[in-house]
Every structure is written in structure tokens, then in C-alpha cells.
Structure 1
Amino acid sequence: MINDIEKKKYILSSVDNVLNLLNLFFDYEELTVNDMARLLSISRSTAFRFAVTLENKGFLAKTDHASYRLGLNLFSLGMLAYNRMELVSVIHPHLQNLAEESGETCHLAMLDDAVHVMFIDRALGTNQLKMETALGYRQYAHLTATGKAILAYQSEQTVNQYLKQAGFPQLTQHSLPHAAALLQVLDAIRQAGYACDDEEAEDGLTCYAVPLLDVTGRSYGAVSISGPTTRMKKNKESHIQRLQTLVASVSKTLIP
């Protein structure tokens, strides 16, 4: 564990100044470059470079009168962090019950960016052989049951963006080979109401997932049960039913 004194050795002054600049917006709705330079005691040219860089990444937005305000990317990040914390706090007890009932490892996942899904919570199963995906693990959405469940209930624009940006690596002989195959799978998911990773990311592992939907029918996450293929297929119907029961219960208390 790094203490506060040691930590100072690793702090980058330029990054620290940029973050201090963003912190100014807790007190000011808009700031000019001159304001930034004065409040941070840095040169105007440095403040200008910081502002332009942040604007380029969408963290600041330039107004018509040459000042800056917070950009939409900061709002998106804040909402993402809030939703993740809220989801975990509400869903974790349900995940824990699901893991105990099914004996398998259960996950909560959300889209992390345009092409990746991230596992943000889990409850380990009670069976001896279990899947132990690390929290924070990211993977192409179409290589996971949770990712496909989420994609199936996203807008056409989001899916098209995914198809343009995602790679289709063949991790196993069952991995989806191309965009056309994924589109067929997404249609099938919408018909069935659940998604399956049938050894598409790792040989011997199968996963079933059900999406979490908001009031508009769009997905904001997914929950899953994962385990060894033989055991999962034997209990497929009961696993999917448990997932659907969990989602129905959560929807009564949490709908973004």
C-alpha cells in the first residue's frame, strides 16, 4: 500500500493540473481560458492547450462566446459510474441467491464502450468446478452471452456501430465468424428472450444471459449464469427461468 507521501512521487503534474481544471467547474458553470489560467496560476498558453485537449475528447464544450463548459462525455461517465454503483447495490443480493440456487457463478455486465462488455459484479457458485471471471474483465460483446443479450436490445445505430468497430477473433471453433452471423443471433435472442455463449469464448464453458431493460425496451445491462458446458446444458431450462425471475424482480425496484 502506497502512503500519501510516497504517492506524491508518482503524480504527474500535467495530469494533476488538468484534473484541477475540471474541478473548477464544481464552482463555475463557464470559464474562459483567462479564467482557467488565473484560477490555477498557470500560463494562458498552458490553460489554452488543456482546454483544447479536453474539448477534443468531449470533456469540455466551447460556447459561442469563447468560454468553456462541461462536455457531454463527463456527463456520460458520471451516469455510467452512478448506474454501475446503483445496479450493483440492488442486484448483488439477487445474484448471490441465484448462485446459491443454481450452484453456478453468476455475473452482472454492462457495455463499457462501443464494442466491449464489462463484468461489474459476480457471485461465485457452490459447485466445485466454477467459472471465475475477474471483476472488470472486458471482452467483445458478441463473445459473451451478456454482451449479446445487451446488443439484441440496443438501437439499430448502436448495433451498426458495433459491427463496424468490433473484431471477430476466432477464440474457439464456435466463435461467431462475422457480422452477418451476429445479426442472425441477435434476431434469435429477441425471439427467445435470452442469449447463450456456447463455448464461443472458451472451450468447455457455457453461459446463459437475460437482458435488463428500461421502460423503452432498451437494455442497460444483463445478468448471467456460467459454468461447465455439460452441467449447464443439463440445467438450461431451470437456469433461464431463474434468470428471468431475477430480472422481473429487479425491474420492480430499479428501472433507469
Structure 2
Amino acid sequence: MRIDGEMISATDDQSILQAARANGKYMPALCYMEGLSPVGACRLCTVEVSGVNRLLPACTTPAADRMSVTTNSPKLQQYRKIALELLFVERNHICAVCVSNGHCELQNLAIEHGVTSVRYPYSYPKLPVDVSHPRFVLDHNRCVLCTRCVRVCAEVEGAHVWDVASRGTNSLIVCELDRPWGESTGCTNCGKCVQVCPTGALAEKGRAVEEMVKREEPILQLVSRRGAMS
């Protein structure tokens, strides 16, 4: 197959995104994480495929023989910029007081795509912050609904604590049957959901915002580890 004009090799079980990364080609993504099932939620890995009259998410589109893919074009750059702007206006992302400021994937992608302002009105939703867990905090204001936490909890830890409730802009990540995180009967306190979160929506507790901890760990190492995290 060809990606941006370069011939590369791929296997039958790879997606376009996996094939690209396996061959050293960068492609932006927010919801995708190696080792977890792909969902195509963020649409930032969207690509153009020759012969197809619509944009396709690279993380859920299988690589195919003789496929020709474009990963970077003015059209794609504009599409990704709009997608990022919409993520910012849907929730309350205030980077200066966020635990992930400086190592936030959403923030990094915004810088990469030149998002210095947004063209859409902010929603300013009034969303709750769950501090009931003794070690961790869930701030819905910073959630981008990537569902990494849902998938790592179910597919790696096997606890099935998290899910998505409601629809559209009203969607929220919920603990079990929408109970406070601290009252969960299935949570193993492993912290995997916190470490895979691309923003500051899930974080370890601290005495103040500046003292909260958001450790950076290699994603492949994280999803392959079956034991509890300290």
C-alpha cells in the first residue's frame, strides 16, 4: 500500500494507523491507544483514501493491498483543526490550572495544529467533579470522551467499572450504575484509567492543583502490565 506516496508493507490484521506507525509515519490521534480496541471517536486520525469519496478514520479502517492513503493535506489539516476546536468548546478546558498542563495530549495537538483560538461559542457546561475516591479525582469538565478509561478498565484490568451515559453533548463517563467513584464495588484502585487519560479529567489527588500528579508512562508498557499500579 502507499501512504503519502511512499510504498510500505502492512499485514492483513493492521489498520491504516497501525501500518503507518509501524513504518515510522506520524498520524495524530487522541482516542487511539496501542493495545486497546479502536473506536474512532476523536476523528483526528482521519485520512483520505483514493477512490473513496469520504474521509475515513485510520484507526478503524483496515489496511488493504494497493490502497493509496493521504494522511496530510490542507483539507485534512482544516478538518482536524475544527475537530480540536469543538473539543475545546464542548467542555471547560482551562490549561493554566490543569494538572496535565505541559503534558496534555489535547494541548499538544492544539499547539501542533495551530489552534490558538476557536471560532465557535463556548458551551460552558456545569459539570460535576467526583472527589469521592480516596486516591483519584474525576473532573468531567476536562473529559474529551475518548473512552480510553472505559476500555483499559474492561480490556486490561477486567474490572468493567466505567461506561458512557447519555448521548451527544450530554454524554458523561460514569462509574458502574452512575454511582460515586468512591462507592464502587468493582474498582481495584489500580490507577490504569488515570494513566491512560489524555487530559486532566482523571488524576491523582494532591493538596493543591499544582501538587496533583500526572505521571507520564509509555503506553505500551502500561497496557501490557497486568498487576496493580503503585
TM-score surpassing 0.5?
no
> Which of structures 1 and 2 has the larger relative contact order (alpha carbons within 8 angstroms, sep 6+)?
2
> Where is the helix percentage greater, Structure 1 or Structure 2?
1
Q: TM-score, normalised by structure 1?
A: 0.25
